[in-house]
Amino acid sequence: MSELLLPLFPLDLVLLPGVPLPLHIFELRYKEMIRECLDQQRAFGIVRAKDESFVNIGCTADIMNVLKTYPDGRMNILVEGQKRFEVLQVNQELRIWPIASPVPCPSIPTFSKRFWR
């Protein structure tokens, strides 16, 4: 997959840069997406799901740790938000998960680690 394309994981939440997020990956297409991201040591994008679609602003997520794997391929992972992006175009035909052509968003102040302690 090209570095200019970003795998997307729509969720009913907003991920922010610097914020950790535990995830339970159970759906077949996202199990495959996360395995590919792990194999290629690359990030994926989390976008907020809205109705049958998603909003066009998201945050890249680095996989910090695989906490647990299950015999059926499910896994518990810990990700951390990295950089905000805007989705310009989505392709849902290259893979069984959505893929975006992202553009970085201007930086905004993020919460410091002290905020979460």
What was the pLDDT predicted at 60?
96
Residue 33 maps to which CATH number? 2.30.130.40
In a domain, 31, yes or no: yes
pLDDT score recorded for residue 70: 97
Find the mean pLDDT for residues 84-92.
85
Q: Does the pLDDT at position 113 exceed 70?
A: no
- Angle among Cα 45, 68, 22 to the nearest 5 degrees reads 40
The parent domain of residue 60 ranges over: 6-98
Inside any domain, residue 108 = no
- Residue in the block written with tokens 């809205």: 50
* Residue 17 within any structural domain of the chain: yes
Average pLDDT over residues 14-32: 96
* Rounded Cα gap, residues 58 and 46, in angstroms: 6
